[in-house]
A and B are shown apart, each in its own frame.
Chain A
Amino acid sequence: MPSPTEPQIALVQQLFVQHLVPLRGFLLGLTADFQQVDDLVQETFLAALQKAGDFEPGTNFRAWIFAIGRYRLLASFRDAGREPLLFDSDVLELLAEEAPDFSTNESRARHMQACMERLAPQARRAMELLYQQGHPPREIAELMGWTANAVKVALSRARAVVRECIERRLIAEGGQ
């Protein structure tokens, strides 16, 4: 495989940064693991740079980078000592075929902070422990002195509150 040229590498770097959010979302769907997503993003980036000569400008970069990400996920599964796959390979393929581009999150993200602030302090803390600090619910229960079930209920309600809040704000925004 010929080495990619400087302009090819520069283009892939630029497009990678632009598509980082959807790539992370795509990999999160296939792994449900924040930590594994971080690892895979790094591996995908390195693989993409090595293959930068293969990317044809003007074609669908998102599909190209998703394919590399999916390949890295399967490759990591084959490596000894890695986490087992979340889904069987046939389900993985079906899901990968239908993955969204995560563009809907761009408008949602504008209202995220305001809606998070509507949560009760303890519900917000549970959300922070999960999404900011990466603790799984069972650790959150320990940290907050709650039962595991109370944490699950609190997280579920908090997510519903924020989702509804964002959707209401988007509707209001659209109506203006």
Chain B
Amino acid sequence: MDDARFSRLLERCLDREADAAEHEELQAWLRAEPEARTRFWQAVEWQALFRQWGEQEWGRVAAEEARRSMPMPESMRAALTPRRPQIAARKKIVPFSPLPWGAGLAAAVMALLFLTSKTPMHAPATVAMMKPAVVTIPAATPALTAVAGAGITPTATPTPSAQVATIAQEADAVWGSEKLLPGARLRAGRIQLAQGVAVIVFDRGAHVVLEGPADFEVWDDNSGELRAGRLRAQVPVSAHGFKVVTPQFTAVDLGTEFGCDLDSDGTGELHVFNGKVDWHPAAENNAVVQLNASQGMRIEHGLETRIVAQPFSFLSEYDLARREMQEKGSYLNAWRVASRELEQHSATVLHFDFENITGAVIPNRAQRAAMISNAAIHGGRLTEGRWANKGAMSFANWGDRLEFALPGSYPSLTLVAWVQVRDLHVGLNSLITTRAAQPGQVGWFIHRDGGLGIAVTKAKDANTGESFLHTQPVIGPQNFGSWVMLACVLDGANGVATQYLNGVKVGSRHNFVHGPFTLSEAQAGNSAERDSGRPGASRANLDGSIDELAILATALPPNQIAWLYQQGKAGLK
């Protein structure tokens, strides 16, 4: 038996990655060799142990989340609890009353449901937990098929009286139809939301944040029709195939998050934040288009145009939770919620939040984080950030810095930092610097005069070495010691650099160098150059603290920079 080959086949099979030929090869070994079967079960034992750990870890994280979000009401906690994406809707009818032992079995089934925990323990739509006789899937209702999108039908229409969704929460909701309170169970039917926001959780697991004024019809446990208004849908694996039908198009989710916006003038937009969504145009002769994360489509007077998705433009459950926390003065918790949204943004490649630091590493919490992008701490000290108990890193001495690497290059970039400047001692007060002088390397700093600076190394054959933008003075004694949000957007496609202070544009330059931009071998806080001992090495330094640093591989528009500032400034003096 070829040991290495057998191990590889086994691993591919248990990861469900093996193709038909590999399956056959593995089966032949399992048939013929007792040792192969022994090794097979040994590998399965480990696989089962890893899965057991995963399930326990999921429970631990859920409990931790619940504890961390203690200030929140139950409905908010449910919305923020990590969901297990593979949780499927229960497909079976558990036979209760026909059996003679009724109550005993009911209790046992409840215990089993808990043990196997396929249903999220905190999900607002608790039908599966509360009533183990769960979802039946009869045939689709033909009357609902002739709306938008050729061949689009409700995914599975339960019996007419069946409840298929739950109102999980609402904020300032004014209902045009029947008033619906959190916890209300919904049957298939129309919902009119005159103003405010409502969160609908479908029984298959999709979460929909509906922004009023909106006219929405729940079709079944995994689809609905948006006639007016806007919504944001977050779709776990269990609800893949979740559909939103509109007069102009139908969105069919292939996982995980998207937004739909219908203007009163008949314009319709689909924005994909994460995963993939199929765009089915209502006009039958237009083709179905698969949209990936950050992509979108607008349809206006029958004309389709590609757009860039704007995740922060659609209200999310995070927004609702954060709003409530801000109202209660729980600013740090509110920021933590917003920060999770930033981490999950499909363009976020780096996010240092300076929270829960142990050891000499600042973890990159971005969902798309590359393996080597955690920051190593060289000098500096951990200190308090914008609010009590918020972590930050203070830089004062030469050489105090974070070192990190972002592999690859990016057509556009957005850099965001929350900074508390104590003083400006030197010519260049470094925010981010890069060690290697390659084309596209980015340096971001505050000039001694208080202006914000950005420099990008040009291609080697260019006449001058770097492209600069130096803004008017914006940092000085007036804001020394205060927390400010600095942002710089490098729009590589259009060759524009823009700098922001507290969400407001303070300078921009056209004819700036085009991308791609790189941040390999980067430092935050201070430059490493001074350590080289090289005469004339740049002595860039920062006397101040940073408590959040984010890098997005996209050029965020001004409204989204303003949004980021709004999320981070609550409660600051």
Contact = CB atoms under 8 A, between A and B. Distances in A.
Contacts of B54: 127-128, 130-134
Interface of B: 11, 13-17, 23, 27, 30-31, 34, 37-38, 40-41, 44-55, 57-58, 61, 84-86, 88, 90-92, 94-95, 99-101, 104-105, 108-109, 111-113, 115-116, 118, 237, 255, 275, 349, 363-364, 367-371, 374
A131 B59 CA distance: 13
Interface in A148-168: 152, 154-156, 159, 162-163
A98 B17 contact: no
A136 B13 CA distance: 12
Nearest to B13: A32
Contacts of A172: none
Contacts of A136: 15-17
Interface string A5-35: 0100110010011001100110011001111
B423 to A, nearest CB: 35
Given A42-B112, A134-B237, A144 B368 contact: yes
B83 to A, nearest CB: 9
Given A42-B116, A109-B49, A130-B54, A17 B86 contact: no
Contacts of B118: 38, 42
Interface residues of A, number: 74
A90 B104 contact: no
B17 A137 contact: yes
B86 A131 contact: no
Given A6-B104, A132-B57, A91 B30 contact: yes
A94 B44 contact: no
Contacts of A41: 112, 116
Contacts of B363: 121
B48 A88 contact: no
Interface of A: 3-4, 6, 9-10, 13, 16-17, 20-21, 24-25, 28-29, 32-35, 38-39, 41-43, 45-46, 49-50, 86-88, 90-91, 94-95, 98-100, 102, 104-105, 108-109, 112-113, 116, 120-123, 125, 127-128, 130-139, 142-146, 152, 154-156, 159, 162-163
A163 B46 contact: yes
State the majority secondary structure of interface residues on B.
helix
A98 B58 contact: no
B86 A3 contact: no
B15 A134 contact: no
B371 A29 contact: no
Nearest to B368: A145
Contact of A112 (B53, B61, B116): B53
17 contacts: A25-B44, A25-B48, A28-B51, A29-B40, A32-B14, A41-B116, A50-B99, A95-B37, A100-B41, A109-B49, A132-B54, A132-B55, A132-B57, A136-B16, A146-B371, A155-B15, A156-B11
Given A42-B116, A128-B57, A152-B17, 6 more contacts: A13-B108, A29-B48, A38-B88, A50-B99, A121-B363, A134-B237
Nearest to B275: A142
A109 B108 contact: no
B105 A49 contact: yes
